[in-house]
Amino acid sequence: MAERIKRIKTTGGAIDFVLFLAYIGAVVYFWIQATGFWSHVWAVIKAIAWPAILVYKGMHALGV
């Protein structure tokens, strides 16, 4: 007997597009400041991580 696995398909729609644009904007922002190959690689990594850093610093500022 094969077990059936229910798959839930959700789509974010507009919010996914807004988050994608924010990511692209962050890449462009950090990319412009970069000067060499590794700084460009670091720019892409920072673009991925900046939301987590923003939340962390916001929580720290609130004393949470």
Is 41 contained in some domain?
Answer: yes
Is 64 contained in some domain?
Answer: yes
Q: Tokens representing 5?
A: 């696995």
Is 58 contained in some domain?
Answer: yes
* Backbone φ and ψ of 36, nearest 5°: -130, 180
Is 57 contained in some domain?
Answer: yes
Is 49 contained in some domain?
Answer: yes
Is 17 contained in some domain?
Answer: no
* Backbone φ and ψ of 42, nearest 5°: -65, -35
Q: Given this model, what pLDDT does residue 15 score?
A: 82
* C-beta of residue 50 within 8 angstroms of C-beta of residue 26: yes
Which segments in the chain show pLDDT lower than 50?
none
Is 20 contained in some domain?
Answer: no
Domains contained in the chain, number? 1
Q: Which tens digit of pLDDT belongs to each residue from 8-26?
A: 666 777 888 888 898 999 9
Is 59 contained in some domain?
Answer: yes
The answer for residues whose C-beta is within 8 angstroms of residue 53's C-beta and 6 or more apart is none
Parent domain of 60: 36-64
